[in-house]
Amino acid sequence: MSTQSTANGAAKPDAAKSGLEGVVVARTELSEVDGLQGRLTIRGYDVEELAGRASFEEVAYLLWHGELPSSSELERLQGQIAEYRRLPDEARAAVELAAKRMGPMDALRFGVAALSADDPNPDDESPEAHLDRAIRLVARVPVVVATYQRLRTGGELVEPRDDLSIAGNVLYQMTGKEAEAPEVKGLDTYLVTVADHGMNASTFTARVIASTAADMVSAITGAIGALKGPLHGGAPGPALTMIEEIGSPERAEPWMRDAVTKGKRLMGFGHRVYKVRDPRAEVLYTAAEILADETGEREALALAQEVERVGVQVLAETKPGRNLSTNVEFYTALLLREVGLTPDLFSPAFGIGRTAGWTAHYMEQRAGGRLIRPQSEYIGPRDLRYSDQR
């Protein structure tokens, strides 16, 4: 960062950039977001190479180790995940309480915060111990979400199954029955697509906490807090609401033009980084199309396609130069609804997938990063004097 001099000659950072726009805060081998080219790279692979082909478990391994697992390595990881799915008593009690009193993201944060209860050696800071904690979290965060959903809807508690994938087990624990293969594939593709995405708000939060040498559960709990904010992880629900309100393809154009005229935001369009179509939108559209082909439910997909086409057109006309293309949230909403999730579970599902990235960033930060301590630019008054006469 370049500097300028103050009146007394001391070096002073350049003026603060709102939202840290354009400021590089870390060097990472985990993922790169190229907003101009519409490209997301995860450990050397374009997201299109992984989503729909590699499983979420494989991508978690890739993030942690820098390479995809062999068949034996994947089998071992799957065994560890199955072993760690049982929640500690403290976490289960937290989820049971949350199901009675809390919304989904509050419940996720509350339950995850209790996941350090059975850490066999919390003082062990070795890379092996950190990796073991990462596997525990990737195994258990989905169980927290599924258990919460099952209990809050009045169902009896369903224990996790060892023979199912992470995606398959989430759907099984929520419903009490094994999901169809297309639904499992759809959710698994979604989890891969959102596993990591550069230095987003929640990942930056996790790295800041990691930089203080706090434990991994604290970092992931903090990341979930950041993800709760609607400007980061909370828009898929409103995108689905918009599509459902439009209702039919012929209503798309008048509805969206009216919304823009009234100053309303079209949900699922535009992104802080991407200046072209979000590559994850293409991946999730393909996943939704495959699911629709398997289930025969193509009407909803056709509606979404028309809403996307009209939305891009209307925004190009009314907000020229803004490049407001479809983002990940648009087809997330459709896909997650079709696999059986309610809109208020969309952000927790995001958290399930992003836990792989958060834990990888935690380990990368602990391995070579310093305490993250940016400066601020003071813009308040100076030289005030204390007085008893107030």
Q: Could you say which DSSP state residue 68 is in?
A: P
In whole angstroms, give the CA distance from residue 298 to residue 157.
33
In whole angstroms, give the CA distance from residue 318 to residue 334.
26
Q: Could you say which DSSP state residue 5 is in?
A: E
The residues near 124 (Cβ < 8 Å, ≥ 6 apart) are: none
In whole angstroms, give the CA distance from residue 251 to residue 262.
17
- The token pair at 384 is 């005030």
C-alpha dist (Å) from residue 373 to 16, 211, 212, 379: 14, 9, 10, 19
Task: State the catalytic residues.
Answer: 271, 329
Which DSSP string corresponds to 184-202?
A: HHHHHHHHHHTS--SS-HH
In whole angstroms, give the CA distance from residue 147 to residue 360.
25
H-helix or E-strand containing 46?
strand 45-46
